[in-house]
Structure 1
Amino acid sequence: MSLTNLMKCYINKMIKESEPGYKVMLLDKYTTSLISLIMGMNEIMKEEVYLFEQLGQVNYSENMAYLKCIVFVRPTSTNVAALCQELQKPRYGSYYLNFSNSISKSDVKLLAESDEHEVVQEIHEIYADFLVHTPHLFSLSLPNCLQGQKWDSDALQRCIQGVAAVCFSLHIMPIIRYQNNSELCSSLAENVMKKLIKEGLVCYDSPVQNNSLLLILDRQEDPVTPLLHQWTYEAMVHELLGVHNGRVKIEHERSSSREEVKEFVMIPCQDDFYLKCMYLNYGDIGQTIKELMEEYQQKLSKQQNVESLSDMKKFVENYPEFKKMSGTVSKHVTILGELSRIVSSNKLLEISECEQELVCGTEINFQRIKQLVSSHEIREKDAVKLVMLYALKHQRSHSNDVKTLISILKKKNVSDTSLKTSIPQDVSSIRRRFFKGIKGVDNVYTQHKPLLTEILNSALRGRLKETQFPYCGTGNSGGALESSCPKSILVFMVGGITYEEAYAVHLLNSSSRSVKIYLGGNYIHNSQSFIDSINGSLSDHRKSAFNL
């Protein structure tokens, strides 16, 4: 089952279950992002939705009783209070309330008491409490979920709600397993299990899939993957430009010394070319965009030969498709051009090759690393990442070399925060399997394989070790999943996921027709957001442990 199609069905059902006629959608910030990742404005307007408003940010003096209001918000106390205010002075003729997760009976009572004008027609819990990026990828838009090395209490509740919502949406009652050496995973697993048991009888109105696995992992078990440069189109855009709610911003210098900011939509389900090319590597994407440009130029030359009425009619009929193609060409040529500029001006190919040798090779060229870290042609964050990767692998055996690299960073006036981040405190607990040598690799820039690939291959064969991934609860050990592979696997990574891991899941899904794998996390990281999350979770105690 595709998460994208599932979410689109939720949205369409929500709209169509209201009365026919002109409609307005009343959303919060989160559900606005959720819908924008799934459906374009034109697609929603076809369903008679002509106005979108943010809950709590509207003009309450304006009355539009001729409109039906479809409310779609998260069931937070803030949203409930704003809805109560809306219902006390309703601006629309009727209201259809949809909550993205379960709402408490006390909040329903507050809403009922506020509905003095009896404008509320229906209220639903639809369990669409997560952001869908691709058919197998979701996130919760929560950059950091820790306080020190412990759960932030609000973030824990948000992750419980999000993971449970995915299970309810997929109609699965999974066996839950978690990473044994992580208290974070253990706590989340136990709480998700309680929520599934408590609310499952209400949510599952038809038979559920029992032969499924929820696997909860810890980002700290693989801190290497988020630090490496990635070379698929999707990952490069996020790493070098940053993708936020499916949007990419590019700043261009103008002759007036002011900056022009261009924003592009990078959502696979709304861009057929991007959907086709998102997993291509850097070399292949250039050729593919070149072919797109040539196709566009051929169509352009044909459109310019308008000599008769039939030619004009054909031109008008083809114009929407032609205009769409023009926008696609312009967007991707601009984005690839900016990616190429960043790659070449910052020596990213050379840095990436060094990173791959560092994490995958058996022999390390320290002088080469030292030269790159010292170079004024590479960015501060790339120098810091090289030192972090070196420290992860060699802090014990080459501690003097790490100190040398740190001193180079100091001479380059690297910020104290970055310096502290560059020395991982828990190096001794990092598993050596991140640095296995890989033989027979054709592409030196993509040698590294995330730990998630190894874990999922074991799960697909039914060979996850119970000592490493114990069952949550007492009744699951030795169950059906131990002797045969599950029909579906839902992975949630505490601490965030990466597009390299999303690509790994895509490859596994492409090679297996019998098992569907879904991947999610509290956030989709690039290297900068991952480093920021580390800095954000460092407690004063941990900061004082750094002796620079």
Structure 2
Amino acid sequence: MVLITLVRDYIDRMLHDIPGMKVLVLDPQTVGMVSVVYSQSDLLRKEVFLVETMDNASSSRESMAHLKAVYFLRPSANNVQKLRRQLAMPRFAEYHLFFSSILKVPQIQILADSDEQEVVQQVQEFYADFCAIDPYHFTLNIQNNHMYMLPTVVDPPGMQGFCDRAVDGIASVFLALKRRPVIRYQRTSDVAKRIAQETARLMYEQESGLFDFRRTENSSLLLVIDRRDDPVTPLLNQWTYQAMVHELIGIENNKVDLMGFANIPKDQQEVVLSSVQDDFFRANMFENFGDLGMNLKRMVDDFQHLSKSSLNLQSIGDMAKFVSNYPEYRKTHGNVTKHVNLVSELSRIVEERKLMLVSQTEQELACTSGQAAAFEAVTSLLNNESVSDIDRLRLVMLYALRYEKESPVQLMQLFNKLASHSAKYKSGLVQFLLKQAGIDKRTGDLYGNRDLLNIARNMARGLKGVENVYTQHQPLLFQTMEGIVKGRLRDADYPLVGNHFQQGRPQDVVIFIVGGTTYEEARSVALYNAANPGVRFFLGGSVVLSSKRFLEDLGEAQRISKSSTII
């Protein structure tokens, strides 16, 4: 479980060593960090009887001298100031302060000066400044994610905060892993370069003592890349369970909000999809929609069999056995209901938006060449009244990314048709995407048509056929992982920071995507790790993207660029 285990161990240590009744105080960021790895029942077992947010703790004046307070916070200036005010008028018997990243010396001094009543028992750094949503996948949940599309040379407001948050999160991952990596970045991305250089400065200069871990035979690697090098992956509809739920409904910190959907019971309006807590989800999170349906049917059949046996209680012994198994029975019942509801909603949305029809064309645009046929297919879908505005926009974007240099006249025809059919279409958004992530801006071989090896690989895939037309796309990240393992990552495209060099094949590799990851990429990483036990890849990013979030970020960056002279 790697990343999840690392964060859980930190929280275990926080709570285990403090006996008695406790309150856990969190900020908006650490709420997510804790909730993805720790359940409410886990907290109760550690004698945590109350969870408060930092804002509530600041506004409340109610004395709780019978409780010990465990604070787990990001070391932000805002949090330190709030904590300073709370320590001036303490509500709790004891204060145990834990910070998710490196605390600066002036901040420690502020806290020491504020503790006039000597209620602070300890101040520690526990490096969990990231949201471990899966064993090899983490996110930083950065709200102003569109910042990565603005040029760093202008240094727009918020850019330094964006980069600082990325550096803190990346550093925390390596501190938790107890590694100091060699650092590389995507040459064509100013923001990737900036984050890589600032991370190197932190690890090798400012806090070199913290990162002075025992040398290992194979060095670790941090590769910082830019979302714009692969704009195709976040634009595609998804057909594997976890990715599909996020694309069509939305997952935030492993929680799915079903409140706005009809026919969902009240106790199922917010559900958790966790590979740690849910056996069915762990077994099926990477399965395609067809196989998922068959596996769900087997789960329902097994539960029906269990339900029938529970009704056939013949003796006191039978009843005693059922009562002892009742919590597991209830858990299974809730799990069955949850997954049936989710798959039912996914099926409804697929039918409503005609996504099987749309997705087939999307996959062809992403995976096969043929400009004339692609133009005809996209035109046909633009004329189809059943196709939604967002699906029309994504189709034109996918066509534009693939054929921007081949058919400017036909591309303009699609722009005009899109504008006339889709009321929500923001004028110039496709052109802005090309300006951000067109062929002249990209480093990698996105369509496998530049490099002879990739051309041969694509031909081989074509000859063998694909298992499922809806899941044939392979993110560019897969090529990047293979390039790292086989030593084919070109220094000219992915330079090293400083005088450090890669010694042999790295054992632990963190790939950080500025601008966000996708669940399709997380699946590629998990499957690659399972098939290649000699190396561990970890995937992280500023957010987890759906096509909706990617387009929102694009639109916000376009708005800022129009209202200023930044771009």
TM-score by length of 1: 0.93
Code of the residue aligned with 1:401 in structure 2: it is: Q
Residues 81-119 of structure 1: CA distance to partner in whole angstroms, max 9, x if unpaired? 111111111111111100111112111111111111100
Residues 32-83 of structure 1: CA distance to partner in whole angstroms, max 9, x if unpaired? 1111000100011101111111112135321111111111001111111111
Q: Match for 2:244 among 224, 236, 239?
A: 236
Q: Match for 1:363 among 355, 361, 370?
A: 370
Residues 110-134 of structure 1: CA distance to partner in whole angstroms, max 9, x if unpaired? 1111111100000001121010011
Code of the residue aligned with 1:457 in structure 2: it is: E
Q: Match for 1:148 among 132, 150, 153?
A: 150
Code of the residue aligned with 1:381 in structure 2: it is: I
Per the alignment, residue 382 of structure 2 pairs with 373
Per the alignment, residue 453 of structure 2 pairs with none
What is the CA-CA distance between 1:198 and the residue it aligns to?
Answer: 3.5
Match of 2:7, SS?
helix
Per the alignment, residue 451 of structure 2 pairs with none
What is the CA-CA distance between 1:204 and the residue it aligns to?
Answer: 4.4
Question: Residues of 1 paired with 2:47 and 2:427: CA distance?
Answer: 51
Per the alignment, residue 485 of structure 2 pairs with 460
Per the alignment, residue 508 of structure 2 pairs with 488
What is the CA-CA distance between 1:149 and the residue it aligns to?
Answer: 3.0
Return structure 1 stretches of 4+ with deviation > 3 angstroms: 198-202, 430-433, 539-545
Per the alignment, residue 506 of structure 1 pairs with 526
Question: Residues of 1 paired with 2:209 and 2:296: CA distance?
Answer: 49
- Check if 1:429 corresponds to 2:429: no
Per the alignment, residue 419 of structure 2 pairs with 410
Per the alignment, residue 36 of structure 1 pairs with 35
Per the alignment, residue 475 of structure 2 pairs with 450
- Check if 1:271 corresponds to 2:278: yes
**Structure 1, 287-296 or 143-152: larger mean CA deviation:** 143-152
* Counterpart contact for 1:26–1:55, Cα < 8 Å: yes
Residues 380-416 of structure 1: CA distance to partner in whole angstroms, max 9, x if unpaired? 1000000001111222321121222122222224335
Question: Residues of 2 paired with 1:240 and 1:357: CA distance?
Answer: 21
Code of the residue aligned with 1:96 in structure 2: it is: H
What is the CA-CA distance between 1:185 and the residue it aligns to?
Answer: 1.2
Question: Residues of 1 paired with 2:208 and 2:434: CA distance?
Answer: 45
What is the CA-CA distance between 1:462 and the residue it aligns to?
Answer: 2.0
What is the CA-CA distance between 1:319 and the residue it aligns to?
Answer: 0.3
Residues 1:540 and 1:513: Cα distance change in structure 2 (over 3 Å)? closer
Q: Match for 2:181 among 149, 171, 174?
A: 174
**Structure 1, 48-57 or 418-427: larger mean CA deviation:** 418-427
Code of the residue aligned with 1:127 in structure 2: it is: Y
* Counterpart contact for 2:419–2:427, Cα < 8 Å: no
Code of the residue aligned with 2:556 in structure 1: it is: G
Residues 1:396 and 1:82: Cα distance change in structure 2 (over 3 Å)? same
Question: Residues of 2 paired with 1:467 and 1:203: CA distance?
Answer: 31
Per the alignment, residue 516 of structure 1 pairs with 536
- Check if 1:313 corresponds to 2:305: no
Query: Structure 1: where are the runs of 5+ without partners?
Result: none
**Structure 1, 332-341 or 194-203: larger mean CA deviation:** 194-203
- Check if 1:248 corresponds to 2:272: no
Per the alignment, residue 517 of structure 2 pairs with 497
* Counterpart contact for 1:39–1:270, Cα < 8 Å: no
Q: Match for 1:217 among 211, 214, 225?
A: 225
What is the CA-CA distance between 1:260 and the residue it aligns to?
Answer: 11
Question: Residues of 2 paired with 1:7 and 1:146: CA distance?
Answer: 27
Per the alignment, residue 351 of structure 1 pairs with 358
Residues 1:472 and 1:13: Cα distance change in structure 2 (over 3 Å)? same
* Counterpart contact for 1:88–1:114, Cα < 8 Å: yes
Q: For the aligned residues, what is the CA RMSD?
A: 2.1
Q: Match for 1:476 among 475, 500, 517?
A: 500
* Counterpart contact for 2:202–2:208, Cα < 8 Å: no
Q: Match for 2:304 among 289, 293, 297?
A: 297
Residues 1:41 and 1:260: Cα distance change in structure 2 (over 3 Å)? closer
Question: Residues of 1 paired with 2:369 and 2:51: CA distance?
Answer: 57
- Check if 1:21 corresponds to 2:28: no
- Check if 1:529 corresponds to 2:549: yes
What is the CA-CA distance between 1:153 and the residue it aligns to?
Answer: 1.4
Question: Residues of 2 paired with 1:109 and 1:213: CA distance?
Answer: 35
Code of the residue aligned with 2:359 in structure 1: it is: S
Residues 197-227 of structure 1: CA distance to partner in whole angstroms, max 9, x if unpaired? 2354442475254611111111111111110
Code of the residue aligned with 1:445 in structure 2: it is: Y
Match of 1:434, SS?
coil
Output aligned runs, 1:198-217, within 5 Å: 198=205, 200-204=207-211, 207-209=214-216, 211-217=219-225
Per the alignment, residue 126 of structure 2 pairs with 126
* Counterpart contact for 1:22–1:49, Cα < 8 Å: yes
Match of 1:429, SS?
coil
Question: Residues of 1 paired with 2:149 and 2:284: CA distance?
Answer: 38
Output aligned runs, 1:70-109, within 5 Å: 70-109=70-109
**Structure 1, 150-159 or 259-268: larger mean CA deviation:** 259-268
What is the CA-CA distance between 1:294 and the residue it aligns to?
Answer: 0.4
Match of 2:474, SS?
coil
Residues 1:222 and 1:28: Cα distance change in structure 2 (over 3 Å)? same
**Structure 1, 246-255 or 219-228: larger mean CA deviation:** 246-255
TM-score by length of 2: 0.90
What is the CA-CA distance between 1:538 and the residue it aligns to?
Answer: 2.3
**Structure 1, 147-156 or 88-97: larger mean CA deviation:** 147-156
Code of the residue aligned with 1:476 in structure 2: it is: H
Question: Residues of 1 paired with 2:488 and 2:378: CA distance?
Answer: 39
What is the CA-CA distance between 1:146 and the residue it aligns to?
Answer: 3.0
What is the CA-CA distance between 1:476 and the residue it aligns to?
Answer: 2.0
Residues 1:241 and 1:87: Cα distance change in structure 2 (over 3 Å)? same
* Counterpart contact for 1:175–1:476, Cα < 8 Å: yes
Question: Residues of 2 paired with 1:446 and 1:147: CA distance?
Answer: 28
* Counterpart contact for 1:171–1:208, Cα < 8 Å: no
Question: Residues of 2 paired with 1:272 and 1:208: CA distance?
Answer: 37
Question: Residues of 1 paired with 2:32 and 2:49: CA distance?
Answer: 18
Match of 2:108, SS?
helix
Residues 1:180 and 1:338: Cα distance change in structure 2 (over 3 Å)? same
Code of the residue aligned with 1:392 in structure 2: it is: L
Question: Residues of 2 paired with 1:97 and 1:260: CA distance?
Answer: 35
